[in-house]
Amino acid sequence: MIHSHGIGKTNGVPNRRPDDEDMTIALERPANTAPASPAPSRNAARIAAEKGVPVLDVVVPVHNEQAALADSVRGLHRHLSEQFPFTFRITIADNASVDATPVIAAGLAAEFAEVRVCRLEQKGRGRALHSVWADSDAPVLAYMDVDLSTDLAALLPLVAPLISGHSDVAIGTRLSRGSRVVRGPKREIISRCYNLILRSTLAARFSDAQCGFKAVRADVAHALLPHVEDTGWFFDTELLVLAERAGLRIHEVPVDWVDDPDSRVDIVATAIADLKGVARLLKGFGSGEIPVGAIAAQFGSGPRAAAPRSLLRQGVYFATVGIVSTIAYLVLFVALRGLLGAQGANLIALLVTAVANTAANRRFTFGVRGRAGVARHQFEGLVVFGIGLALTSGSLAVLHAVSEPARVVELVVLVGANLLATVVRFVLLRGWVFHPRRTAGVTD
């Protein structure tokens, strides 16, 4: 159940700002920009004016945030009042807090006419966003983390393409070259690994799924939300993947972001839940349980033309190419050993089969045709091959440095290292070398 209070003048006829009309005109869709769907979306500022509702509804999900809530909401309200040229609402989505958060939130709603509170009796950031976004009357919906780790100067660039109708979804990204991020190496590595997993398994093209700074047009949200199952941290990823598969346009904004040292996110539990979510989406797309075509049809478009080949099919092709490469390596090694010796034959056989392996995976596993990017693909393929070789050689070196192992132990370690190297090679080829974003226009 959701309890709401503190809804002020922004729920009735909003106090229009004198520059709303100017910004409405300035943010119209450029004539030479191709929309994501055949029918351009209407300007959100005009929709809001016609309905007498705020243009933007910013949701701040909270659970036991009594320490940060007041200062953060006041800072957000001050920024929107002074820097944001459209009418707005701030919705505090309280996820079953048991500290003083509900009392503080109610006080903020009484203090500011543009602030309201929604109380949910169950935890879950995804549940909070799903509930508030589904009920909101604003044409543009956004959310941000209560710690305000993202510089608010990025808020207008985030929502402007949605207001104009140019884009459907917008995300802040900490992984763009233009981003300025302050955080420890642990979170940086985890974030990049997670997004690599998304690219390699779901062929995601967006760069940062986890940044707590996103926005979506309300009509898009209302079409996607019924198909989003997750109620926790994977909610963002699921929404983005569905939007991308449905052919919607996702706008990215590089952000300035400072890590919150007081973050209470359970990294291990969140990572496990995210991996389960990825597996669920793979199953849903593979079985047809997720109706991507029907979702896309609601926007007058077709599913994304560059939707990836199925992971299973790619895995089968990859394994087949690997088996053929291994046989070719053995044949070359035997043929060259008498002439070059064991080490020389091994080196030449490995290099030749590595080049052939990359070429075969390029054509058959990932469906890339033509000569465009061949040199780059081969170079990156050798880098990936080197990483795999380092894993196997490194594991043996460590094993022999620790003790003089029995032959069976050595064999077990080598088999395990090779399995890991194979997985790493497939992930890097799918998520980096032959990722659809880097091979657009040359795939089957």
pLDDT tens digits along 52-75: 999 999 999 999 999 999 999 999
Lowest-pLDDT choice from 230-234, 258-262, 341-345, 350-354 = 341-345
Question: Whole-angstrom distance between the N-terminal and C-terminal Cα of the chain?
Answer: 48
Q: Give the per-residue pLDDT at 2.
A: 46
Q: DSSP assignment, residue 433?
A: I
Using the predicted structure, report yes or no on whether residue 23 has a pLDDT greater than 60: no
d(Cα 92, Cα 100) in Å, to the nearest integer? 14
C-alpha closest to that of 300 among 248, 261, 356, 354: 248
71 & 185 share domain: yes
Final residue before a domain boundary, out of 271, 297, 323: 297
For the segment 352-365, the average pLDDT, to the nearest whole number, is 83
SS3 state at 96:
coil
284 & 344 share domain: no
Maximal C-alpha separation, the chain:
88
In a domain, 414, yes or no: yes
What is the count of structural domains for the chain? 2
Using the predicted structure, report yes or no on whether residue 29 has a pLDDT greater than 50: no
- Give yes or no for a contact between 116 and 90, defined as CB atoms under 8 angstroms apart: yes
E strands, 238-376, are 250-254, 256-258
- Determine whether 236 is an active site residue: yes
178 & 83 share domain: yes
SS3 state at 291:
coil
154 & 58 share domain: yes
Torsion of CA 226, 229, 231, 236, to 10 degrees: -80
d(Cα 296, Cα 298) in Å, to the nearest integer? 5
β-bridge mates for residue 60, sequence order: 92
Using the predicted structure, report yes or no on whether residue 20 has a pLDDT greater than 50: no
Q: Give the per-residue pLDDT at 255.
A: 96
Using the predicted structure, report yes or no on whether residue 219 has a pLDDT greater than 80: yes
281 & 157 share domain: yes
Lowest-pLDDT choice from 102-111, 189-198, 309-318, 329-338 = 309-318
d(Cα 137, Cα 141) in Å, to the nearest integer? 9
For the segment 262-283, the average pLDDT, to the nearest whole number, is 81
Q: How does residue 238 score in pLDDT terms, banded at 50, 70 and 90?
A: very high
Q: Which two tokens stand for residue 10?
A: 């922004």
In a domain, 442, yes or no: no
Q: How does residue 18 score in pLDDT terms, banded at 50, 70 and 90?
A: very low
Final residue before a domain boundary, out of 249, 264, 297: 297
In a domain, 350, yes or no: yes
Q: Give the per-residue pLDDT at 343.
A: 65
Using the predicted structure, report yes or no on whether residue 122 has a pLDDT greater than 80: yes
In a domain, 188, yes or no: yes
For the segment 152-179, the average pLDDT, to the nearest whole number, is 95
Which CATH number covers residue 57?
3.90.550.10
Mean pLDDT score of the chain? 82
238 & 336 share domain: no
221 & 324 share domain: no
Q: Which of 57, 168, 236, 274 is catalytic?
A: 236
Final residue before a domain boundary, out of 253, 275, 297: 297
Using the predicted structure, report yes or no on whether residue 249 has a pLDDT greater than 90: yes
308: Cα separation from own chain's centroid:
16
In a domain, 48, yes or no: yes
In a domain, 438, yes or no: no
322 & 288 share domain: no
Whole-prediction pTM: 0.67
d(Cα 358, Cα 371) in Å, to the nearest integer? 13
In a domain, 302, yes or no: no
Domain of residue 172: give its range: 2-297
In a domain, 304, yes or no: no
258 & 383 share domain: no
235 & 374 share domain: no
**Length of the chain as a residue count:** 444
Q: How does residue 440 score in pLDDT terms, banded at 50, 70 and 90?
A: low
173 & 263 share domain: yes
269 & 141 share domain: yes
